[in-house]
Amino acid sequence: MTEATLAKKPADAASGATLHDRILVGFKPIDDLHKEFEEIVGVLNDPAEADFGEHLLALHEHMLRHAAVEEGFMAQERYPHLGRHRRAHEHLLEAIARVRDRWDCGDVEAVRRFAAELMGWFAIHASSEDAELVAYLKGAPKAA
Ligand SMILES: [Fe+2]
Ligand SMILES: [Fe+2]
C-alpha cells in the first residue's frame, strides 16, 4: 500500500463527494472497517502491488469479519432491517467467492473487472445500508 494508492479518490460527479467520503458513516468501529476495506481494494487495483490470490483472500477474510461486526451490532440492538442488510453482505461474500473461483481458473480479466467495480458498489452499500444502521445505533433505545 502506497500513499499514491490511498490518494486515488475519484470524485462523485453528482455530489462532489469522493468515494472515500461516501464510505465514512460517523461511527468509529464501522469507519475503521471501511478504511480497511478501502485499503484492500486499493491494493487490488494497483498493478504494481496486486497479488490477486493473496489479496482476494485478504478481502474475503476482511469481509467475513466486517459483516460479523456489523451484524453483531444489529443483533445486539435489535435492528429491524438485520435480514435485509445481512442478505446484502451475503451477496457480496458470494461475489467474492465466485471471483476467487475465476482467479483459480486463470480468468484475470474477471478479477480486474470485479476489482474496478468494487468501490462503487461498496460506496452505495456504505451510504445506504451502513449509514441507516449507524443512524439507528446512534438513536437506538436501549433494552429495558
Ligand atoms: Fe460496512
Ligand atoms: Fe454493511
Q: What CATH number is associated with residue 115? A: 1.20.120.50
Q: Whole-angstrom Cα distance, residue 130 to residue 73?
A: 11
Nearest to 58 by CA among 100, 106, 24, 87: 100
Q: Is residue 40 part of a domain?
A: yes
Number of domains comprising the chain: 1
Average pLDDT of span 101-105: 97
Kindly give the distance from the C-alpha atom of residue 34 to the centroid of ligand 2, in angstroms, as a whole number: 9
Read off the pLDDT band of 8 (50, 70, 90): very low
Average pLDDT of span 25-48: 96
- Grid coordinates 451484524 are at which residue? 71
Kindly give the distance from the C-alpha atom of residue 19 to the centroid of ligand 1, in angstroms, as a whole number: 14
Instruction: Report pLDDT digits (tens) over 57-79.
Output: 999 999 999 999 999 999 999 99
Q: Is residue 35 part of a domain?
A: yes
Which pLDDT score is estimated for 88?
Answer: 98
Q: Is residue 113 part of a domain?
A: yes
- Provide the grid cell at 1: 500500500
Which pLDDT score is estimated for 47?
Answer: 87
Q: Is residue 20 part of a domain?
A: no
Read off the pLDDT band of 140 (50, 70, 90): low
CB within 5 A of ion ligand 1: which residues? Answer: 130
Q: Whole-angstrom Cα distance, residue 95 to residue 87?
A: 12
Q: Is residue 3 part of a domain?
A: no
Kindly give the distance from the C-alpha atom of residue 19 to the centroid of ligand 2, in angstroms, as a whole number: 16
Kindly give the distance from the C-alpha atom of residue 106 to the centroid of ligand 1, in angstroms, as a whole number: 29
Read off the pLDDT band of 132 (50, 70, 90): very high
Q: Is residue 58 part of a domain?
A: yes
Q: Is residue 19 part of a domain?
A: no
Q: Is residue 14 part of a domain?
A: no
> 107 lies in which domain range?
27-139
Kindly give the distance from the C-alpha atom of residue 69 to the centroid of ligand 1, in angstroms, as a whole number: 9
Kindly give the distance from the C-alpha atom of residue 39 to the centroid of ligand 1, in angstroms, as a whole number: 14
Kindly give the distance from the C-alpha atom of residue 33 to the centroid of ligand 1, in angstroms, as a whole number: 7
Which pLDDT score is estimated for 142?
Answer: 54
